[in-house]
């Protein structure tokens, strides 16, 4: 038997873990585009109750979603895992960008990623002297307040966005403004006396995967910190985005 036939044989035999093989069949079918339950049954050769049970279970875990017509489609969890797989690349690229932004603005700089219903500081460049807002790497902060939380939520799918607004210090109108101008600001929202400005970092797919943020005392940042620093923060976030997208293109070449 040649290698190709042997590979095909293993594929038809499956992994030996039946439920995983069936789940993979469902995801493979959805890779081609939106599918009705009837189409899933046809393409996966699964019994209708089995196909429905697996699709609904995958939907619960956000590996599958529904489109406007109620058809099954690939869900947002897959892109989140893909983004997480590129985290080391993001952190490697982030350091010089954060340092340059700190030196340009004179303020502390952070990089945040969303993890579930919280956000985590995954990289930082601290202001070297004077009064500063110190956020240590690994610090876990709320998704309910702060400019970075606004950025990480503003481009989410509508259902998740609206869930995230419950109990938040900002509103849907605030997030609409964030999407329109491409950056967010907060003044005393996360912590009294602290102001911040944040902008989105996008992965190769265009999805927001992180937020670059600068923060400092209101006395220095002012009550309109975006007027002072939005351009610099947006430029820093764009540099990170460009590095990630260029690296992805080189790896695929």
Grade residue 2 by pLDDT with cuts at 50, 70 and 90: very low
- Greatest alpha-carbon pair distance for the chain in Å reads 75
Q: What is the pLDDT of residue 248?
A: 59
- Tokens representing 179 are 């999407």
Q: What is the pLDDT of residue 91?
A: 84
How would you class 248 by CB atoms within 10 Å of its CB: exposed for 0-12, middle for 13-18, buried for 19 or more?
Answer: middle
Mean pLDDT of the chain: 87
Grade residue 18 by pLDDT with cuts at 50, 70 and 90: confident
CATH homologous superfamily of 86-252 equals GAF domain (3.30.450.40)
Q: How far apart are CA 117 and CA 140, in angstroms?
A: 10
pLDDT over threshold 90, residue 205: no
Report CA-CA distances (Å) from 36 to 26, 43, 47, 71, 204: 11, 11, 14, 5, 29
List the chain domain ranges: 18-82, 86-252
Q: What is the pLDDT of residue 134?
A: 76
- One of 1.10.10.10, 3.40.50.300, 3.40.50.920, 2.60.40.10 is the CATH number of 18-82, namely 1.10.10.10
Torsion angle defined by CA atoms of residues 220, 225, 229 and 230, in that order, rounded to the nearest 10 degrees: 170
Q: How far apart are CA 250 and CA 159, in angstroms?
A: 35
Q: What is the pLDDT of residue 1?
A: 42
Q: How far apart are CA 35 and CA 95, in angstroms?
A: 43
pLDDT in tens, 113-145: 998 788 989 899 998 776 666 788 889 899 999
Grade residue 69 by pLDDT with cuts at 50, 70 and 90: confident
pLDDT over threshold 70, residue 200: yes
Please state the pTM of the whole predicted model.
0.66
Average pLDDT over residues 171-198: 96
pLDDT in tens, 72-110: 988 877 766 766 655 567 888 899 999 999 999 999 999
Q: What is the pLDDT of residue 178?
A: 98
Higher model confidence: residue 129 or residue 161?
A: 161
Q: What is the pLDDT of residue 78?
A: 75
Average pLDDT over residues 211-229: 95
Same fold, 18-82 and 86-252: no
């Amino acid at each position: 038997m040649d290698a190709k036939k042997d590979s095909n044989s293993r594929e038809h035999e499956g992994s030996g873990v039946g439920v995983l093989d069936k789940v993979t069949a469902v995801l493979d079918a959805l890779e081609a585009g939106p599918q009705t339950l009837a189409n899933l049954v046809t393409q996966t050769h699964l019994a209708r109750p089995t196909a429905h049970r697996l699709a609904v279970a995958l939907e619960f875990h956000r590996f599958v979603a529904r489109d406007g017509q109620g058809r099954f489609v690939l869900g947002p969890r897959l892109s989140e895992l893909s983004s997480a797989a590129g985290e080391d690349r993001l952190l490697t690229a982030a350091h010089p960008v954060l340092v340059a932004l700190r030196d340009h603005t004179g303020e502390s700089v952070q990089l945040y990623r969303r993890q579930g219903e919280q956000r985590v500081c995954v990289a930082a460049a601290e202001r070297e002297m004077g009064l500063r807002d110190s956020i240590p790497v690994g610090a876990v902060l709320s998704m309910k307040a702060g400019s970075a939380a606004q950025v990480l939520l503003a481009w989410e799918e509508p259902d998740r966005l609206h869930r995230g607004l419950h109990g938040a210090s900002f509103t849907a109108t605030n997030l609409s403004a964030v999407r329109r101008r491409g950056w967010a600001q907060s003044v005393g929202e996360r912590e009294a006396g602290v102001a911040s400005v944040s902008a989105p970092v996008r992965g190769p797919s265009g999805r927001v995967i992180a937020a670059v943020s600068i923060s400092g005392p209101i006395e220095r940042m002012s009550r309109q910190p975006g007027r002072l620093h939005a351009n610099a923060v947006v430029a820093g976030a764009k540099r990170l985005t460009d590095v990630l997208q260029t690296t992805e293109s080189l790896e695929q070449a």
